Amino acid sequence: MNPRILLVIVSCVLSVLTGLVLSRGGAVADAARARPLIGLSMDTLKEERWQKDRDLFVQKAAELGADVEVLSANSNDTRQLADVEALITRKVDALVIIPHDAAAMAKAVNLAHQAGIPVLSYDRLITGCDLDLYITFDNVKVGELQASFLAGRIPAGGKLRLLRIYGSKTDNNAKLFKQGQDNVLQPLIAAGKVEVLHEDWADDWKPENAKKITNAAITQHGPKFDAILASNDGTAGGAIQALTEEGIAGRVLVTGQDADLAACQRLVQGTQTMTVYKPLHVLCSQAAEIAVKLATRRPVIARDSTPNGHTDVPSVFLPIHAVTKDNLRDTVVKDGFRSEQDVFGR
């Protein structure tokens, strides 16, 4: 990561101290518009996590005096590009994109820039373009937390037999999660302490695809693995469904991330072992604040950068937490992300 402070100025080209300055012209706002309008282009709203992102983002933007127009592409690249074009036609003052395909949305960024609209890539990096800003959790760290959790449960003098379920190949984050997992696992694999029996990518992060991967592993190896390194809670849920049908749910370690309600309940039940809690209220709040600043052509300070294959994108990284049944109350419930009643049923 670039340790320099990256100062993002959207209204004009300036040189500011040691910061990296990024410039964009502004879209011509509707003369009759009293409040900034932000376009939010989402990959999907099928998962609970993304519904919560939308609601928190819209709420915070409203508190800051901005309106948000939300469009969801249902995990379709053609539709998402059309959504962005529609938002550009609406003359939004800033665009926030959660890409389905990291590379495909580069065209969307270029179209927005041609119209003078700055673009914030939300949680997932858009690659191959001159992107204005990126806000996310440290996704490599997410993978490291997942793998480190399992590494700490390698039996003394033995090995951990592992099934790995990656996310969607079209999502750059899935590759970053894998990178973090590999950082921890590769030395253990080389030392003979971890054996990967089966691995595959779950298209579009669908739980049913994760279930198929787990079923294939069971067919090929039998129920002889100790852990499933699932990259998110949705794929963990699909894997656990296969384990349940096999009668071994709760006897196999299963990771995840997002602290979905169903996953938190599975932690309590003992069928899922850990998740990674990414405080969405922090992500949504800071993303909304940045989007409003971009929309009103005010400077945004980003202290890190991320290479996207075209440029080093000014980036804002947020903290994450490993969560098990033991610290559910001290993290997810304490933050108000999930209620005691919803998680524990009392």
Q: In the 3-class helix/strand/coil scheme, how is the chain assigned residue by residue?
A: CCCCCEEECCCCCCCCCCCEEECCCCCCCCCCCCCCEEEEEECCCCCHHHHHHHHHHHHHHHHCCCEEEEEECCCCHHHHHHHHHHHHHCCCCEEEECCCCCCCCHHHHHHHHHCCCCEEEECCCCCCCCCCEEEEECHHHHHHHHHHHHHCCCCCCCCEEEEEEECCCCCHHHHHHHHHHHHHHHHHHHCCCEEEEEEEECHHHCHHHHHHHHHHHHHHHCCCCCEEEECCHHHHHHHHHHHHHHCCCCCCEECCCCCCHHHHHHHHHCCCCCEEECCHHHHHHHHHHHHHHHHCCCCEEECEEEECCCCEEEEEEECCEEECHHHCHHHHHCCCCCCHHHHHCC
Q: What is the pLDDT of residue 49?
A: 86
> For 46-55, 79-88, 96-105, which range has the lowest pLDDT when averaged over its residues?
46-55
Q: What is the pLDDT of residue 32?
A: 53
Res. 15: pLDDT tops 70: no
Q: What is the pLDDT of residue 1?
A: 43
Res. 31: pLDDT tops 80: no
For the domain made up of 139-278+322-344, the CATH class stated in words is: alpha beta
Average pLDDT (162-178) is 94
Res. 342: pLDDT tops 60: yes
Res. 19: pLDDT tops 60: no
Q: What is the pLDDT of residue 315?
A: 96
pLDDT-based confidence at residue 179 (cuts at 50, 70, 90): very high
Strand 119-122, strand 94-97: pairing = parallel
Mind listing the pLDDT tens digit for each residue in 94-142?
999 999 999 999 999 999 999 999 999 999 999 999 999 999 999 999 9
The two domains 6-131+280-318 and 139-278+322-344 share their CATH topology (first three levels equal): yes
Mind listing the pLDDT tens digit for each residue in 194-227?
999 999 999 999 999 999 999 999 999 998 899 9
Beta bridge partners of residue 96, listed in sequence order: 40, 120
Arithmetic mean of pLDDT over the chain? 90
Res. 12: pLDDT tops 50: no
The backbone region for 66, taken as left when phi is positive above 0, alpha when psi lies in -120 to 50, beta otherwise, is beta
Mind listing the pLDDT tens digit for each residue in 245-274?
999 999 999 999 999 999 999 999 999 999
Q: What is the pLDDT of residue 302?
A: 94
Contact indicator for 273, 255 with CB cutoff of 8 Å: yes
Contact indicator for 133, 290 with CB cutoff of 8 Å: yes
Q: What is the pLDDT of residue 9?
A: 41
For the domain made up of 6-131+280-318, the CATH class stated in words is: alpha beta
Average pLDDT (263-292) is 96
Average pLDDT (175-193) is 97
Share of the chain above pLDDT 90, in %: 85
Q: What is the pLDDT of residue 48?
A: 83
Q: Residue 179: how many CB atoms within 10 A of its CB? A: 13
- Residue position matching structure tokens 């800003």: 133
Both tokens of 99, joined, read 């890409």
Domain ranges of the chain: 6-131+280-318, 139-278+322-344
Average pLDDT (42-63) is 94
